[in-house]
């Protein structure tokens, strides 16, 4: 048999096992098979099978939404004490202010449910799931601007180019669903600030990890994924034969160059082929009962909204997609705090709570980890006049988790009376990511990928600690 007449069956048989790609034979990718993850994982018994990350881009205000400090009403309109500010770095937007006036919460923050988890009136639906979540009030980051902050919490570094946490999870654990990517991303725009901060595709990129593990973005309108439909005049049989022929050519090229991205490309071609059937089915809500839209809100009927994406996240979780991430823009309230923060909460509150309740009633919350939060919080002092807005604040902010082995109805960490500094149990964003990985059965420091002579981990070289206090 000549090199150029090799058959698909022949190269799959002869080439299998000749090269290792991401812990699996590369020919599996050339045959279109789903990456199965590393044999060394999981490191321990996981409590979560999948993650749904509700990323609130722009910096939700912990002062107005979660961090209960009744003394702030007394200090409203007074200068923030120098003893509290300390040497805190501030952004260029407020560095030149002559006054840093305390701006009390714009609505009541109070203990909710039997657990007493503190949540603001702006989130009435989240108040109803207070006994289902663990609220971390002491998250912190070094980043003070949006892009470095979002990059940091999603990749472990403020410098772009590293793999996202979702890509790491897909690389390490693989997927049980061969017809859908292991990492799916959806975007939405809120009414709190329009347009919100830009969201770059590198936030779900794979960095130096093979690109088959990067997130796949679903579009909010029209076809879920561009170029997913077959061209006019091309039927499924012809498409399959074309892909098989391309796979044969790619096998020859892989043998010549040893470039694993060749196998990745073939896998992506085949995944697109399978998604032609699976993706439209997931986005078809026609069989969802009216009770679903009563739970999530009427916006769940509208493609591209946050509520719609939350509902799709549940449907993807049902189909064992490993890592589902929603990016919702609009949380950057530098001015018009009252109307814009109110609008942003209205966009997100019902659907976020609905997702948790929906998963619970389906028996899926116990093995699905839901994460809610942004890149940093907001300043207790006002940017501009009182009630005008709040600046960025990375020194402390709040995030919550639910399900997937996380304790229900618990709070962790404390800030000072001004929601400005952490006074107990700090949780760095690296610790947060390490804890997410822990629920999936992964030890972040034992999970490595060698690149340019270094054994990289998802959380960098700095020490991390698992936030065991929030685990069930």
What pLDDT is stored for residue 226 in this prediction?
Answer: 65
pLDDT at 241: 75
The architecture CATH gives domain 15-470: 3-Layer(aba) Sandwich (3.40)
Q: What is the pLDDT of residues 299-340, one digit of tens each?
A: 999 999 999 999 999 999 999 999 999 999 999 999 999 999
Nearest to 133 by CA among 441, 377, 356, 433: 356
Give the mean pLDDT of 190-206.
Answer: 94
- The dihedral through the CA atoms of 417, 420, 423, 429 has a sign that is positive
pLDDT score recorded for residue 317:
97
Q: What is the pLDDT of residue 19?
A: 32
Q: How confident is the model at residue 179 (pLDDT cuts 50, 70, 90)?
A: confident
Phi, psi for 454 (deg, rounded to 5): -115, 145
For residues 25-36, give the mean pLDDT.
Answer: 49
More confident residue, 388 or 24: 388
The pLDDT of residue 233 is 79
Counting residues of the chain whose pLDDT is more than 90, the rounded percentage is 74
256 vs 229 pLDDT, higher one: 256
* Residue in this structure with the two tokens 């089915």, named with its chain if needed: 281
What is the pLDDT at residue 131?
98
* pLDDT value of position 33: 54
Greater pLDDT, 234 or 378:
378
| pTM of the complete model | 0.89
pLDDT of 363 reads 98
Q: Are strands 427-428 and 133-140 parallel, antiparallel or unpaired?
A: parallel
- Res. 276: pLDDT tops 90: no
Instruction: State the average pLDDT over residues 17-24.
Output: 34
Least confident piece of the model among 34-48, 139-153, 330-344: 34-48
Name, in order, each residue with C-beta under 8 angstroms of 447's C-beta and a sequence gap of 6 or more. Answer: 41, 43, 168, 172, 437, 457, 458
345: CB partners within 8 A, 6+ apart: 65, 122, 123
Q: Give the model's pLDDT for residue 264.
A: 72
- Tens of pLDDT, residue by residue over 382-411, are 999 898 999 999 999 999 999 999 999 999
- Residue 273: predicted pLDDT: 67
- Report the range out of 90-99, 210-219, 351-360 with the highest average pLDDT: 351-360
**Three-state SS annotation for 267-286:** HHHHHHHHHHHHHHHHHCCC
CA–CA separation, 390 and 31 (whole Å): 53
Secondary structure element (H or E) that encloses residue 412, with its range: strand 410-412
Q: Quick one: how many helices (H) and strands (E) in the chain?
A: 14, 19
User: Does 282 score more than 50 pLDDT?
Assistant: yes
* Domain ranges across the chain: 15-470
pLDDT digits (tens, 9 = 90+) for 294-308: 999 999 999 999 999
Joined together, the tokens standing for residue 132 give 């289902």
State mean pLDDT over 142-147.
96
| Rounded distance between C-alpha atoms, residue 140 and residue 450, angstroms | 28
Could you please report the per-residue DSSP string of 316-348? HHHTT-SEEEEEEE----SS-HHHHHHHHHHHH
User: Is residue 71 within 8 Å of residue 417, measured between CB atoms?
Assistant: yes
Least confident of 93-97, 276-280, 359-363, 447-451: 276-280
Per-residue pLDDT for 25 more than 60? no
């Amino acid at each position: 048999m000549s090199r150029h007449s090799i058959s698909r069956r022949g190269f799959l048989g002869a080439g299998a096992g000749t090269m290792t790609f991401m812990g699996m034979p590369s020919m599996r990718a050339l045959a279109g098979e789903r990456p199965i993850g590393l044999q060394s994982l999981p490191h321990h018994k996981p409590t979560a099978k999948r993650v749904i990350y509700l990323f609130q881009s722009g910096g939700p205000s912990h002062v107005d939404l979660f961090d209960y400090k009744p003394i702030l009403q007394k200090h409203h309109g007074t200068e923030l004490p120098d003893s509290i500010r300390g040497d805190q770095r501030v952004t260029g937007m407020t560095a030149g202010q002559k006054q840093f006036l305390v701006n009390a919460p714009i609505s009541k923050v109070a203990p909710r449910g039997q657990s007493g988890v503190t949540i603001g009136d702006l989130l009435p639906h989240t108040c109803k799931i207070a006994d289902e979540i663990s609220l971390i009030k002491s998250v912190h980051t070094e980043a003070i601007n949006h892009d470095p902050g979002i990059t940091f919490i999603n990749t472990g570094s403020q410098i772009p180019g590293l793999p996202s946490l979702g890509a790491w999870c897909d690389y390490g654990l693989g997927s049980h669903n061969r017809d859908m990517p292991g990492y799916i991303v959806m975007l939405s725009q809120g009414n709190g600030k329009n347009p919100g901060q830009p969201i770059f595709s590198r936030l779900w990129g794979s960095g130096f990890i093979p690109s088959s593990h990067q997130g796949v973005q679903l579009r909010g309108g029209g076809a879920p994924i561009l170029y997913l439909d077959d061209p006019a005049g091309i039927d499924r049989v012809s498409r399959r034969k074309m892909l098989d022929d391309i796979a044969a050519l790619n096998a020859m090229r892989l043998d010549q160059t040893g470039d694993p991205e060749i196998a990745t490309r073939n896998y992506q071609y085949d995944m697109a082929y399978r998604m032609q059937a699976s993706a439209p089915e997931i986005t078809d809500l026609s069989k969802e009962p009216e009770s679903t839209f009563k739970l999530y809100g009427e916006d769940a009927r509208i493609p591209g909204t946050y509520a719609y994406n939350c509902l799709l996240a549940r449907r993807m979780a049902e189909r064992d997609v490993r890592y589902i991430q929603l990016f919702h823009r609009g949380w950057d309230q530098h001015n018009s705090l009252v109307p814009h923060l109110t609008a942003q909460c209205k966009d997100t509150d019902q659907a976020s709570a609905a997702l948790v309740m929906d998963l619970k009633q389906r028996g899926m919350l116990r093995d699905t980890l839901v994460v809610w939060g942004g890149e940093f919080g907001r300043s207790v002092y006002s940017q501009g006049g009182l009630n005008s807005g709040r600046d960025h604040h990375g020194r402390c902010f709040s995030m919550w988790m639910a399900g997937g082995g996380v304790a229900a109805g618990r709070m962790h960490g404390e800030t000072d009376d001004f929601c400005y500094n952490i006074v107990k149990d700090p949780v760095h964003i690296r610790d947060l990511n390490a804890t997410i990985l822990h629920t999936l059965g992964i030890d972040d420091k034992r999970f490595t990928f060698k690149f340019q002579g270094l054994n990289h981990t998802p959380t960098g070289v700095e020490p991390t600690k698992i936030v065991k206090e929030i685990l069930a």
